[in-house]
Amino acid sequence: MSMIRVFVYGTLKRGQPNYHYMTDTAIGVARFVGQARTADRWPLVVASKYNIPFLLDLKGQGEHVEGEIYDVDQKMADFLDDFESHPKLYQRTTIPIEQLTNEDDSDLGDEKATHQCSVYLLTRFKPHIAQLPCLSNYNCQEALGVAAYVERYLRDPQDSLDFLIDEVRFRDN
């Protein structure tokens, strides 16, 4: 079975509110590869009234972002594209990711490897989004002036994806 390597940095990580999707075999297969961080600096910000983490397409700015690498099957990759509203909100692209631990969370030490991983970036955003504080490691709980994530089931049902897009990014003409 062909697998796709993805890097998650937000609510899909272990211990975060949407991690349960990564373990739901009804929507596909996701195998934890290890903890990791971006090889380059990227701005990870929390924005919108729902406090959603966004990795901005501004390579070289921000921090080395910590997250997790997964190998996913095509079914899970399709689910993730839908979940992340690709390509309407996020754009899936490939960037270099440094693997720090193995699947058992043992440090790789000098054996660290760099992988090309799919990641979801916000490529078109309003200027004020790039001015928000950058994080190196996302946690859904309120900390350091960043408000807690609002899970989808708690959001205003009147707020569509278009509402979120209007909040954080420029519209295509």
Query: Which letter does DSSP use for residue 102 in this model?
Result: -
103 is catalytic: no
Q: Are the C-beta atoms of 3 and 75 separated by less than 8 Å? A: no
Catalytically annotated residue among 84, 98, 111, 151: 84
Which residue is it, tokens 């972002």? 65
Q: Are 5 and 115 in contact (CB under 8 A)?
A: yes
**CB–CB of 87/75 below 8 Å?**
no
Nearest to 69, CA basis, from 141, 14, 136, 18: 14
Known catalytic residues are: 84
